[in-house]
A and B are shown apart, each in its own frame.
Chain A
């Protein structure tokens, strides 16, 4: 599937260690169960809207593990979209906080009950506020990358993610243009998770280029399309691409072909589809075949996480909702000029 333009640092062919494979698996299970719990919360009326990434764990988990997380331009900036709970889990987020965001409680540490599920924001880890307008993150990404490029010897990079349909927005082109100017190429890892769908519009009604990664060619951007359903491939390819962006301080465009297992969002019912590959099932078969995990161990893991999430759900149900009078909080970061109106 690779459409690499010129040879890039090819990721080492070495096998990933058994520990890493088990860790990837564990986080993928956790990510999947978290999404299932969030959908359940939606169905039970503990949230107004669900959107997330079941089917993208094979890509999202390795990404989260490889990110250099921290605050400020020495670390990676994350301009994510709304399907990346599994990335956040892999970075170390506590799943109960995703439940809080789902239920829009005052205790939601990301937005205080202001935003939809999946719309994370964590300054401590350079996760910039995820927002609903499609593709705007691709317009912001060059800004953080400009700041990073200036740091002598810096290794921090900017990572931006989004879906395939959204690449029709001008902001995607902005990102390609701004990050590849000969006068100042930027350390941006430009990622597209291609689930082949907009909301209901198939890719054939969205765009004509064979691979979205081909769009990098015109800009001389190293580009590749990978199988986003295989966590081992994703880990290796992301590691290689990140290393390239970190050391060369130049952009890389990667398209990952992924599945969408529960449709677009709760707005389209969030029902399980049966005609798409399930990255988790595939990976579990492989791990069983290789003797790295047994079915019993897998079941035990699932049961444990499911119980934890159920308990977390019970807890979150009791937590307070934000008070209406807090709407004026944080309009400005120095003084609350709106509220100070006489």
Chain B
């Protein structure tokens, strides 16, 4: 069963074979490395760009304008900040031309903490991405979602962000969550599509026959049903929320956990339906808490569901500090972890009106 990186690779293979993707590029994206996280190994349209994030985003827009579906990687989202105005430009091509031009492009970038990446390999990008209109934004938490969301990105006529939680890249799919057509055996899959270590110039992957699978934007997934409260999360913190909910069911707290998967458009209907039932809402992500996407969801919850709430809705997010420090204790204190999530769910569930 694939991990997320392998799922991304398989999706990109399908994208270049069947969906007209002409360019998959970025720093160290092409051979021999195939990406800092190996997500682009063995792909026939993958190439190495100069070490120039502004150039990468600019080229991605240019290719999109020329009608070339492309996936441009920013090696770490921490290095996308010098390209914000170009990212904004991509998001306004269609609008500023009053609907004349469109620009298919996917910006793929690893996000978040969890690999002890210290200050400059741990930033989140969801608050920034959701602040740039004109993009569809996907952030998977499982290999299968990564596969299906990435395919939705590449066929979309608009700019898309595909945010890859670094902490989940090597996590394997749960049983029942496999991508159709992939070998069930990890070793068998690795033999087919992982480049050998060292000399690999003659290596060619053997791609399993995986299907077109499009997970639509704006469709969240209920990971776990529950009657007591609604937990909305995505990316690295999502599996932690699911685990916390699992553990808390022993205390007779039944939390419903929703994986948003797509941040724009986002599945407000699913959130609202759930919160109407439970009357309690917790939003969890790891971006810095001030002007955070979870705050937006919380604001809508208050504005639109106020009279159906039993307890004040809550946001659990990253501390508003400039970066995430390297030491384990610093990272643990900076972004939500299993204990803080568990405690947040527990305390919200126990508030009595």
Residues of A within 8 A of B (CB): 72-73, 77, 108, 110-112, 114-115, 121-123, 128-129, 131, 133, 136, 138-148, 150, 158, 170-171, 174, 177-178, 181, 329-334, 337-338, 340-342
Binary flags per residue of B18-62, CB closer than 8 Å to A gives 1, else 0: 000011000000000000000000000000011010110111111
A169–B4 CA distance with the chains assembled, in angstroms: 37
Give the residue of B61, B102, B269 whose beta carbon is less than 8 angstroms from that of A140: B61
Q: Per a CB cutoff under 8 Å, which of A143, A170, A181, A333 touches B102?
A: A333
Contact of A111 among B59, B86, B96 (CB under 8 A): B96
From B52, which residue of chain A is reached at the shortest CB distance?
Answer: A174
Which one of B23, B50, B59, B97 contacts A121 once the chains associate, using CB atoms below 8 Å? B97
Write the nearest CB–CB distance from B332 to chain A, whole angstroms: 37
| Residue in B95, B101, B102, B268 whose beta carbon sits within 8 Å of that of A114 in the complex | B95
Residues of B within 8 A of A (CB): 22-23, 49-50, 52, 54-55, 57-68, 85-86, 89, 92-102, 133-134, 136, 156-158, 217-218, 264-265, 268-269
Taking a contact as CB atoms under 8 Å apart, the answer to whether A144 and B94 are in contact is no
Q: A141-B62, A146-B63, A329-B98 are in contact. List 6 more A-B contacts (CB 8 A).
A: A129-B101, A133-B89, A142-B62, A330-B98, A333-B99, A337-B136
Q: A131-B96, A331-B133 are in contact. Are A139 and B58 (CB under 8 A)?
A: yes
CB distance from B327 to the nearest CB of A (A): 34
Interface centre among A73, A146, A148, A329 (most CB of B within 10 A): A146
CB-CB < 8 A to B86: which residues of A? 136, 139-140
A185 to nearest B CB, angstroms?
Answer: 13
A146 — which chain B residues lie within 8 A by C-beta?
23, 59, 62-63, 66, 68
Q: When chains A and B are docked, how far (Å) is the Cα of A171 from the Cα of B64?
A: 18
Contact residues in B for A342 (Cβ distance below 8 Å): 268-269
A332 contacts B89, C-beta separation under 8 Å: no
**Which residues of chain A have C-beta atoms less than 8 A from B133's C-beta?**
331, 338
Q: Is the CB of B68 within 8 A of A147?
A: yes
Q: For A133, A144, A181, A334, which residue has the most chain B Cβ atoms within 10 angstroms?
A: A144
Q: Which chain A residues border B98 with CB–CB below 8 Å?
A: 108, 110-112, 114, 121, 329-330
Specify the chain A residue showing the minimal Cβ separation from B62: A143
Residues from chain B with Cβ under 8 Å of A334 in the complex = 156-158
B265 partner residues in chain A, CB cutoff 8 A: 337, 340
Contacts of B59 in A (CB 8 A): 139-140, 142-143, 146, 178
Given known A-B contacts A114-B98, A136-B86, A331-B133, A143 and B60 have beta carbons under 8 A apart:
yes
A123 touches B100 (CB 8 A): yes
Taking a contact as CB atoms under 8 Å apart, the answer to whether B66 and A77 are in contact is: yes
Given contacts A110-B98, A334-B156, contact A139 B268 (CB under 8 A): no
Say whether A140 contacts B58, CB under 8 Å.
yes
Expressed in whole angstroms, the Cα–Cα distance for A338 and B265 within the complex equals: 8
Q: Which residues of B contact A341 (CB under 8 A)?
A: 268
9 cross-chain pairs, A with B, having the tightest CB-CB distances, nearest first? A143-B62, A139-B58, A147-B66, A112-B98, A330-B99, A333-B102, A174-B55, A143-B59, A121-B97
Q: Name the distance in Å between B154's Cβ and chain A's nearest Cβ.
A: 14
13 CB contacts below 8 A, A to B, read A72-B66, A136-B85, A140-B59, A143-B59, A143-B63, A143-B65, A147-B63, A177-B52, A181-B50, A329-B98, A332-B136, A334-B158, A337-B217
Please report the C-alpha to C-alpha distance between residue A141 and residue B65 in the assembled complex, in whole angstroms: 10
Q: How far, in whole Å, are A139 and B66 apart by their CA atoms in the complex?
A: 14
CA distance A71 to B25 in the complex (A): 25
Residues in A whose Cβ lies below 8 Å from that of B136: 332, 337
Complex Cα distance, B136 from A171, in Å, reads 26
Question: Does A174 lie within 8 Å of B54, measured CB to CB?
Answer: yes
Chain B residues closer than 8 Å to A141, beta-carbon distance: 58, 62
CA distance A342 to B64 in the complex (A): 31
Q: What is the CA–CA distance of A334 and B94 in the complex, to the nearest angstrom?
A: 10
Q: Among the interface residues B96, B98, B158, which one has the most CB atoms of the partner chain A within 10 A?
A: B98
Asked if residues A148 and B66 are in contact (CB atoms below 8 Å), the reply is: yes
Interface contact A136-B89, CB-CB below 8 Å: yes
Indicate if the CB atoms of B264 and A337 lie closer than 8 Å.
Answer: yes
Complex contacts, B57 vs chain A, CB 8 Å? 139
Q: Give Cα A133–Cα B61 distance, bound, in whole angstroms.
A: 15
Instruction: Tell me whether B54 and A170 are in contact (CB under 8 A).
Output: yes
Q: How far is the CB of B179 from chain A (nearest CB, A)?
A: 25
Task: Tell me whether B96 and A121 are in contact (CB under 8 A).
Answer: yes
Q: Return the contact of B65 from the options A122, A144, A177, A330 (Cβ within 8 A).
A: A144
Contact A145 B89 (CB under 8 A): no
Q: Tell whether, in the assembled complex, residue B97 and residue A142 are in contact, meaning their CB atoms are under 8 Å apart.
A: no
Give Cα A139 to B158, complex, Å. 19
Residues of A within 8 A of B269 (CB): 342
Chain B, residue nearest A337 (CB): B265
**CA A342 – CA B124 in complex, angstroms?**
28
B157 touches A72 (CB 8 A): no
Q: Is the CB of A147 within 8 A of B95?
A: no
B63 to chain A, nearest CB (A): 4
On whether A122 and B62 interact (CB within 8 A), knowing A171-B54, A333-B158, A337-B264, the answer reads no
Give the CA-CA distance A131 to B103 in the complex, in Å: 15
A333 and B62 alpha carbons, distance in the complex (Å): 17
CA distance A331 to B86 in the complex (A): 17
CA distance A146 to B63 in the complex (A): 7
Question: Quick one: given A145-B62, A146-B23, are A333 and B67 in contact (CB under 8 Å)?
Answer: no
Give Cα A114 to B55, complex, Å: 27
Given A139-B86, A147-B67, answer yes or no on A329-B99 (Cβ-Cβ < 8 Å): yes
CB-based nearest B residue for A141 = B62
A123, A133, A139 — most chain B CB neighbours (10 Å): A139
Give Cα A291 to B93, complex, Å.
48
Q: Are A177 and B158 in contact (CB under 8 A)?
A: no
Q: How far is the CA of A338 from the CA of B89 in the complex (A)?
A: 18
Contact A144 B50 (CB under 8 A): no
Closest to B57 in A: A139
Complex-state Cα separation, A74 to B54, whole angstroms: 26
Report the minimum CB–CB distance from A175 to chain B (whole Å): 8
Q: Which residues of A contact B97 (CB under 8 A)?
A: 110-111, 121, 123, 129, 330
